[in-house]
Amino acid sequence: MDDLPEEVQELIEELDKAAEDEEEDKIKELTQKLLATGIDVGAITLKKLSLLVMDGEEEMTRGWTEVAIQIGMDPFKTLIEGLAAGMSLIGKKYENGEAFVPQLLIASTAMYGGMDLLAPYMKQSENITSKPATVVIGTVEGDVHDIGKNLVKTLLSANGFNCVDLGNDVPASKFVEAAKEYRATAVSMSTLMTTTMAEMPRVVKMLIDEGIRDNVMVMVGGAPITTGYAAQIGADASPRDAASAASWLKEAIFDFPSENVRWG
């Protein structure tokens, strides 16, 4: 951002300090001053959020999320192009050996801090029926990663779905038990490691063995998962990202039998 006018750079520095000190009134005041410069505050905010999440700056991430809220930025755009983009940046560093698990965890904490502020502004879709459809979601057994799973859960919840979060390292049987207990519409599984991919077809097989495979839609996702693999194991979809997962399920639900038809 070195190419920005000096006045703008100074305001950004002041906003960084106010965000770090959690001075909400100061953040609002400086946001208005930044808007008055005529600069594209939205673009700056998204860039700042992505970098702050990557660096694990929780307080500053929350502060700049407040900026996004103040300027009326679409919360989904803030989430995907700001917060989630930051996780993608640190994720690439991790893959390249330039960052390690502690940095991933710190970055995820920063992202979640921003997500918490955005949640009330994510209006539920008017297309979802009055009774929310239930999605059982979790990371498969053997995998303790939950960043991607939490992002999918956030977007599904924001779109009116009731998410039953089983957490991470979830045994196959627990997915099946939860699907039956909550009369689920969908089961969503994720993994970040190739070594735990085999847990996904195990869940699908257990759903078949229990006679409830047709009662639920199955979504799978994560870095090693492809659409081909999803089809191979009998899953219904493998959306490319969290936003796609929410969009796919919103559309798929309209052609899916009602809860009473499926579960009796």
Q: Which domains does the chain have, with CATH numbers?
A: 6-121 (1.10.1240.10), 134-263 (3.40.50.280)
Which strand ranges, in their side-by-side order, compose the sheet holding 134-139? 162-165, 134-139, 186-190, 217-221
**Strands 134-139 and 162-165, how do they pair?**
parallel
> Residue 17 corresponds to which amino acid?
K
Strand, coil or helix: 94: helix
Long-range Cβ pairs for the range 177-182 (8 Å, 24+): 178/136, 179/136, 179/207, 179/212, 179/215, 179/216, 180/210, 180/212, 182/134, 182/136
Dihedral, 70, 72, 74, 76 alpha carbons, nearest 10: 20
DSSP 225: -
* Per-residue model confidence (pLDDT) at position 99: 85
Which residues of the chain fall short of a pLDDT of 50?
Answer: 124-130
Q: What is the pLDDT of residues 82-103, one digit of tens each?
A: 998 888 788 778 768 898 878 8
Q: Give the relative orientation of helices 147-158 and 101-118 as an angle to the nearest 10 degrees.
A: 10
Q: Which pLDDT belongs to residue 125?
A: 40
pLDDT tens digits for 93-149? 876 889 887 887 788 889 889 988 988 887 544 444 446 899 999 999 999 988 889
- pLDDT of res. 211: 97
The stretches of 71-162 forming alpha helices (DSSP H) are 75-77, 84-95, 101-118, 147-158
**Structure pTM?**
0.66
